[in-house]
Amino acid sequence: MPINNIKVHNFTVFSDFEMKLGNGINLIIGENGIGKTHLLKIIYSLIKTQQQYNDTKKDGNAQQMSVPKELVISGLATVFDVTDEYLKSSMSSSDFSLKHNMVFQSTQTQVLFIPSKEMLSHARGLTSMKKKYGDNMPFDATLLDIIEKAQAWKLSKAPPLAKSITPVLERVIGGVVEIKEDGSFWIKKTDGKMLPFSMEADGHKLFGLLWQLIMNENITSNSVILWDEPENSINPENIPVLVESIIELQRHGVQLIMASHSYNFVRYFDVLRNKDDSVKHFCLYKSDEGNTVNSWAESFRNLVPNPIDSAGERLYKDAIGKAMEDA
Protein backbone atom coordinates (compact mmCIF):
# COMPACT_ATOMS: atom_id res chain seq x y z
CA MET A 1 0.00 0.00 0.00
CA PRO A 2 1.34 3.46 -0.86
CA ILE A 3 2.55 6.18 1.46
CA ASN A 4 0.13 9.08 1.31
CA ASN A 5 1.91 11.74 3.33
CA ILE A 6 5.16 12.37 5.15
CA LYS A 7 5.88 14.94 7.84
CA VAL A 8 9.31 15.61 9.33
CA HIS A 9 9.82 17.90 12.31
CA ASN A 10 13.18 19.22 13.52
CA PHE A 11 15.40 16.55 12.02
CA THR A 12 18.52 17.10 9.87
CA VAL A 13 17.65 19.83 7.32
CA PHE A 14 13.89 19.60 7.98
CA SER A 15 12.19 21.97 10.40
CA ASP A 16 8.46 21.62 9.71
CA PHE A 17 8.19 19.68 6.48
CA GLU A 18 5.26 17.95 4.81
CA MET A 19 4.94 16.24 1.41
CA LYS A 20 1.79 14.72 -0.07
CA LEU A 21 2.84 11.82 -2.27
CA GLY A 22 1.13 10.24 -5.25
CA ASN A 23 0.25 6.56 -5.43
CA GLY A 24 2.59 5.93 -8.38
CA ILE A 25 5.78 7.75 -9.42
CA ASN A 26 7.15 10.59 -7.29
CA LEU A 27 10.18 12.42 -8.72
CA ILE A 28 12.13 14.72 -6.41
CA ILE A 29 14.66 17.30 -7.58
CA GLY A 30 16.55 20.02 -5.73
CA GLU A 31 19.99 21.42 -5.10
CA ASN A 32 22.71 19.45 -3.33
CA GLY A 33 22.30 19.34 0.44
CA ILE A 34 18.60 20.22 0.38
CA GLY A 35 17.56 16.85 1.86
CA LYS A 36 16.50 14.58 -1.02
CA THR A 37 18.50 11.52 0.06
CA HIS A 38 17.77 12.20 3.73
CA LEU A 39 14.06 12.13 2.97
CA LEU A 40 14.30 8.76 1.21
CA LYS A 41 16.31 7.29 4.10
CA ILE A 42 13.89 8.66 6.69
CA ILE A 43 10.95 7.00 4.96
CA TYR A 44 12.81 3.72 4.57
CA SER A 45 14.14 3.67 8.10
CA LEU A 46 10.77 4.42 9.66
CA ILE A 47 9.06 1.62 7.75
CA LYS A 48 11.87 -0.79 8.64
CA THR A 49 11.65 0.27 12.26
CA GLN A 50 7.92 -0.39 12.38
CA GLN A 51 8.46 -3.82 10.87
CA GLN A 52 11.10 -4.55 13.52
CA TYR A 53 8.81 -3.10 16.20
CA ASN A 54 5.92 -5.29 15.07
CA ASP A 55 8.14 -8.37 15.19
CA THR A 56 9.28 -7.48 18.71
CA LYS A 57 5.73 -6.74 19.83
CA LYS A 58 4.67 -10.24 18.81
CA ASP A 59 7.23 -11.58 21.26
CA GLY A 60 5.95 -9.32 24.03
CA ASN A 61 9.23 -7.40 24.34
CA ALA A 62 8.33 -4.08 22.74
CA GLN A 63 9.29 -0.91 24.60
CA GLN A 64 7.69 2.46 23.98
CA MET A 65 9.77 5.55 24.70
CA SER A 66 9.16 9.29 24.59
CA VAL A 67 12.07 11.37 23.33
CA PRO A 68 12.28 14.95 22.05
CA LYS A 69 12.29 14.70 18.25
CA GLU A 70 9.39 13.52 16.15
CA LEU A 71 8.96 12.07 12.69
CA VAL A 72 5.55 11.32 11.31
CA ILE A 73 4.39 9.29 8.33
CA SER A 74 0.64 9.45 7.85
CA GLY A 75 -1.05 6.53 6.19
CA LEU A 76 -3.04 3.48 7.07
CA ALA A 77 -2.60 1.88 10.49
CA THR A 78 -2.16 2.69 14.17
CA VAL A 79 0.17 5.15 15.89
CA PHE A 80 3.12 4.05 18.00
CA ASP A 81 6.33 5.50 19.44
CA VAL A 82 9.68 3.76 19.44
CA THR A 83 13.35 4.73 19.67
CA ASP A 84 14.66 4.44 16.15
CA GLU A 85 18.06 2.74 16.33
CA TYR A 86 17.75 1.64 12.70
CA LEU A 87 17.51 5.23 11.56
CA LYS A 88 20.47 6.13 13.76
CA SER A 89 22.69 3.59 12.00
CA SER A 90 21.42 4.21 8.50
CA MET A 91 21.83 7.99 8.72
CA SER A 92 25.37 7.57 10.14
CA SER A 93 24.60 10.08 12.89
CA SER A 94 25.61 9.91 16.53
CA ASP A 95 24.26 10.75 19.99
CA PHE A 96 20.64 11.30 19.11
CA SER A 97 17.38 9.59 19.73
CA LEU A 98 13.96 10.43 18.40
CA LYS A 99 10.29 9.75 18.79
CA HIS A 100 8.19 8.99 15.76
CA ASN A 101 4.50 8.48 15.35
CA MET A 102 4.06 6.08 12.48
CA VAL A 103 0.85 5.42 10.66
CA PHE A 104 1.63 2.76 8.09
CA GLN A 105 0.51 -0.76 7.33
CA SER A 106 4.00 -2.10 6.83
CA THR A 107 3.00 -5.75 7.22
CA GLN A 108 1.37 -5.58 3.79
CA THR A 109 4.11 -3.50 2.16
CA GLN A 110 7.48 -4.46 0.67
CA VAL A 111 9.88 -1.52 1.06
CA LEU A 112 13.12 -1.26 -0.87
CA PHE A 113 15.87 1.37 -0.83
CA ILE A 114 18.09 1.43 -3.94
CA PRO A 115 21.17 3.58 -3.28
CA SER A 116 22.99 5.64 -5.91
CA LYS A 117 26.12 3.55 -5.33
CA GLU A 118 26.41 0.23 -7.16
CA MET A 119 26.82 -2.41 -4.45
CA LEU A 120 26.39 -5.87 -5.99
CA SER A 121 30.00 -5.97 -7.23
CA HIS A 122 31.05 -5.84 -3.56
CA ALA A 123 28.49 -8.36 -2.33
CA ARG A 124 30.85 -11.18 -1.43
CA GLY A 125 33.25 -9.03 0.61
CA LEU A 126 30.61 -6.96 2.38
CA THR A 127 28.50 -10.00 3.26
CA SER A 128 31.56 -11.61 4.86
CA MET A 129 32.31 -8.42 6.79
CA LYS A 130 28.71 -8.23 7.98
CA LYS A 131 28.95 -11.75 9.39
CA LYS A 132 32.20 -10.87 11.16
CA TYR A 133 31.41 -7.40 12.51
CA GLY A 134 27.60 -7.47 12.77
CA ASP A 135 26.08 -4.09 13.66
CA ASN A 136 29.54 -2.54 14.02
CA MET A 137 29.98 -2.41 10.24
CA PRO A 138 31.23 1.09 9.25
CA PHE A 139 28.76 1.34 6.35
CA ASP A 140 25.40 2.93 5.76
CA ALA A 141 22.87 0.18 6.53
CA THR A 142 21.02 0.76 3.27
CA LEU A 143 24.11 -0.30 1.29
CA LEU A 144 24.05 -3.69 2.95
CA ASP A 145 20.27 -4.04 2.79
CA ILE A 146 20.17 -3.90 -0.99
CA ILE A 147 22.76 -6.69 -1.22
CA GLU A 148 20.72 -8.89 1.12
CA LYS A 149 17.57 -8.21 -0.88
CA ALA A 150 19.27 -9.01 -4.18
CA GLN A 151 20.87 -12.21 -2.85
CA ALA A 152 17.49 -13.84 -2.39
CA TRP A 153 17.25 -16.59 -5.00
CA LYS A 154 14.99 -15.90 -7.94
CA LEU A 155 11.80 -17.91 -8.31
CA SER A 156 11.80 -21.01 -10.50
CA LYS A 157 8.87 -19.50 -12.39
CA ALA A 158 8.83 -15.85 -13.42
CA PRO A 159 6.33 -13.84 -11.29
CA PRO A 160 3.49 -11.99 -13.08
CA LEU A 161 5.21 -8.60 -12.73
CA ALA A 162 8.24 -9.88 -14.66
CA LYS A 163 6.48 -10.67 -17.91
CA SER A 164 6.15 -7.09 -19.12
CA ILE A 165 9.46 -5.76 -17.76
CA THR A 166 12.27 -8.34 -17.58
CA PRO A 167 12.49 -9.11 -21.35
CA VAL A 168 13.49 -5.49 -21.96
CA LEU A 169 16.04 -5.60 -19.12
CA GLU A 170 17.49 -8.83 -20.52
CA ARG A 171 18.05 -7.18 -23.89
CA VAL A 172 19.96 -4.33 -22.23
CA ILE A 173 22.27 -6.55 -20.15
CA GLY A 174 22.51 -9.24 -22.82
CA GLY A 175 21.46 -12.06 -20.52
CA VAL A 176 20.18 -12.81 -17.02
CA VAL A 177 21.54 -12.53 -13.48
CA GLU A 178 23.00 -15.55 -11.71
CA ILE A 179 24.13 -15.82 -8.07
CA LYS A 180 26.88 -18.23 -7.11
CA GLU A 181 26.96 -20.12 -3.83
CA ASP A 182 29.45 -17.61 -2.38
CA GLY A 183 26.87 -14.83 -2.87
CA SER A 184 28.62 -13.16 -5.82
CA PHE A 185 26.62 -11.82 -8.78
CA TRP A 186 27.21 -12.71 -12.42
CA ILE A 187 25.60 -12.04 -15.78
CA LYS A 188 24.90 -15.16 -17.80
CA LYS A 189 25.06 -13.89 -21.37
CA THR A 190 22.79 -15.20 -24.09
CA ASP A 191 25.74 -17.11 -25.59
CA GLY A 192 26.24 -18.94 -22.27
CA LYS A 193 29.33 -17.04 -21.15
CA MET A 194 29.47 -15.90 -17.49
CA LEU A 195 30.61 -12.35 -16.66
CA PRO A 196 31.14 -11.22 -13.03
CA PHE A 197 29.37 -8.03 -11.99
CA SER A 198 32.77 -6.44 -11.30
CA MET A 199 33.53 -6.58 -15.03
CA GLU A 200 30.12 -5.42 -16.24
CA ALA A 201 29.34 -1.80 -17.16
CA ASP A 202 27.88 0.15 -14.22
CA GLY A 203 24.74 1.05 -16.17
CA HIS A 204 24.12 -2.60 -17.01
CA LYS A 205 24.56 -3.52 -13.34
CA LEU A 206 21.61 -1.30 -12.44
CA PHE A 207 19.39 -3.01 -15.01
CA GLY A 208 20.65 -6.36 -13.67
CA LEU A 209 19.78 -5.34 -10.11
CA LEU A 210 16.27 -4.36 -11.18
CA TRP A 211 15.88 -7.68 -13.01
CA GLN A 212 16.98 -9.65 -9.95
CA LEU A 213 14.71 -7.78 -7.52
CA ILE A 214 11.71 -8.42 -9.75
CA MET A 215 12.57 -12.08 -10.28
CA ASN A 216 13.02 -12.81 -6.56
CA GLU A 217 9.85 -10.83 -5.70
CA ASN A 218 11.49 -8.17 -3.58
CA ILE A 219 9.59 -5.92 -5.98
CA THR A 220 5.91 -6.84 -6.14
CA SER A 221 2.64 -5.12 -6.91
CA ASN A 222 2.41 -3.67 -3.38
CA SER A 223 6.03 -2.51 -3.10
CA VAL A 224 7.35 0.93 -2.18
CA ILE A 225 10.67 1.66 -3.91
CA LEU A 226 12.88 4.47 -2.64
CA TRP A 227 15.51 5.11 -5.31
CA ASP A 228 18.39 7.57 -5.07
CA GLU A 229 19.56 8.84 -8.49
CA PRO A 230 18.28 5.99 -10.70
CA GLU A 231 19.98 7.56 -13.72
CA ASN A 232 23.45 7.19 -12.18
CA SER A 233 25.93 5.70 -14.74
CA ILE A 234 23.17 5.01 -17.28
CA ASN A 235 24.08 5.66 -20.91
CA PRO A 236 21.73 8.41 -22.22
CA GLU A 237 20.40 6.07 -24.91
CA ASN A 238 19.16 3.70 -22.17
CA ILE A 239 17.41 6.39 -20.11
CA PRO A 240 14.12 5.87 -22.01
CA VAL A 241 14.36 2.12 -21.33
CA LEU A 242 14.77 2.79 -17.61
CA VAL A 243 11.90 5.30 -17.57
CA GLU A 244 9.58 2.93 -19.45
CA SER A 245 10.42 0.16 -16.96
CA ILE A 246 9.63 2.46 -14.03
CA ILE A 247 6.35 3.55 -15.60
CA GLU A 248 5.44 -0.10 -16.14
CA LEU A 249 6.17 -0.86 -12.46
CA GLN A 250 3.80 1.96 -11.52
CA ARG A 251 1.10 0.43 -13.75
CA HIS A 252 1.41 -2.77 -11.69
CA GLY A 253 0.76 -0.99 -8.39
CA VAL A 254 4.34 -0.19 -7.33
CA GLN A 255 4.89 3.18 -5.66
CA LEU A 256 8.24 4.80 -6.47
CA ILE A 257 9.83 7.77 -4.68
CA MET A 258 12.99 8.87 -6.48
CA ALA A 259 15.57 11.65 -6.20
CA SER A 260 17.31 12.84 -9.35
CA HIS A 261 19.64 15.48 -10.81
CA SER A 262 19.17 14.44 -14.44
CA TYR A 263 17.16 16.55 -16.88
CA ASN A 264 16.88 13.70 -19.39
CA PHE A 265 15.64 11.26 -16.77
CA VAL A 266 12.89 13.39 -15.24
CA ARG A 267 11.87 14.93 -18.57
CA TYR A 268 11.29 11.54 -20.19
CA PHE A 269 8.39 10.85 -17.82
CA ASP A 270 6.43 13.65 -19.49
CA VAL A 271 7.32 12.20 -22.90
CA LEU A 272 6.61 8.51 -22.24
CA ARG A 273 3.74 8.50 -19.73
CA ASN A 274 0.12 7.87 -20.62
CA LYS A 275 -2.64 10.12 -19.34
CA ASP A 276 -3.69 7.52 -16.78
CA ASP A 277 -0.20 7.07 -15.29
CA SER A 278 0.35 8.51 -11.81
CA VAL A 279 3.37 10.84 -11.91
CA LYS A 280 4.14 13.74 -9.57
CA HIS A 281 7.18 16.04 -9.77
CA PHE A 282 8.51 17.68 -6.60
CA CYS A 283 11.17 20.29 -5.96
CA LEU A 284 12.81 20.73 -2.55
CA TYR A 285 14.07 24.24 -1.96
CA LYS A 286 14.77 26.77 0.80
CA SER A 287 11.98 29.10 1.87
CA ASP A 288 12.61 32.77 2.71
CA GLU A 289 12.95 31.65 6.33
CA GLY A 290 15.68 29.15 5.39
CA ASN A 291 13.56 26.00 5.85
CA THR A 292 13.41 23.12 3.38
CA VAL A 293 9.97 23.14 1.73
CA ASN A 294 8.55 21.61 -1.44
CA SER A 295 6.46 22.42 -4.46
CA TRP A 296 4.89 19.96 -6.88
CA ALA A 297 3.33 19.63 -10.32
CA GLU A 298 2.07 16.79 -12.48
CA SER A 299 4.37 17.89 -15.32
CA PHE A 300 8.09 18.61 -15.08
CA ARG A 301 7.63 21.67 -17.27
CA ASN A 302 5.11 23.12 -14.81
CA LEU A 303 7.31 22.62 -11.74
CA VAL A 304 8.36 25.87 -10.04
CA PRO A 305 11.06 26.39 -8.93
CA ASN A 306 12.95 24.06 -11.25
CA PRO A 307 16.75 24.22 -10.84
CA ILE A 308 17.36 21.46 -13.41
CA ASP A 309 15.43 23.31 -16.10
CA SER A 310 17.08 26.59 -15.13
CA ALA A 311 20.54 25.02 -15.45
CA GLY A 312 19.63 23.80 -18.94
CA GLU A 313 18.52 27.29 -19.93
CA ARG A 314 21.80 28.75 -18.63
CA LEU A 315 23.78 26.21 -20.66
CA TYR A 316 21.78 27.08 -23.78
CA LYS A 317 22.39 30.80 -23.30
CA ASP A 318 26.09 30.24 -22.61
CA ALA A 319 26.40 28.07 -25.73
CA ILE A 320 24.68 30.75 -27.86
CA GLY A 321 26.94 33.43 -26.38
CA LYS A 322 30.04 31.37 -27.09
CA ALA A 323 28.91 30.72 -30.67
CA MET A 324 28.38 34.45 -31.23
CA GLU A 325 31.84 35.23 -29.84
CA ASP A 326 33.44 32.71 -32.18
CA ALA A 327 31.47 33.87 -35.21
Domain boundaries, the chain: 1-109+222-327, 117-221
Which of 72-86, 213-227, 280-294, 308-322 has the least mean pLDDT? 72-86
What residues contact 168, with CB distance under 8 A and at least 6 apart?
241, 244, 245
Mean pLDDT score, 5-34: 88
Please give the C-alpha separations between residue 324 and each of 52, 150, 327, in angstroms, as whole numbers.
62, 52, 5
The pair phi, psi for residue 158, each rounded to 5°, is: -60, 130
Question: What pLDDT score does 95 carry?
Answer: 33
**What letters, b where the CB count within 10 A reaches 16 and e where it falls short, cover 221-232?**
eebbbbbbbbbb
Q: Cα–Cα distance between 24 and 246 in angstroms, integer?
A: 10
Evaluate if residue 211 carries a pLDDT over 60: yes
Q: Cα–Cα distance between 209 and 169 in angstroms, integer?
A: 10
Evaluate if residue 30 carries a pLDDT over 80: yes
Which of 160-164, 187-191, 302-306 has the least mean pLDDT? 160-164
Question: What pLDDT score does 14 carry?
Answer: 84
pTM of the model: 0.84
Mean pLDDT score, 166-174: 96
Q: Cα–Cα distance between 205 and 150 in angstroms, integer?
A: 12
CATH fold of the domain at 1-109+222-327: Rossmann fold (3.40.50)
**pLDDT more than 70, % of the chain:** 75
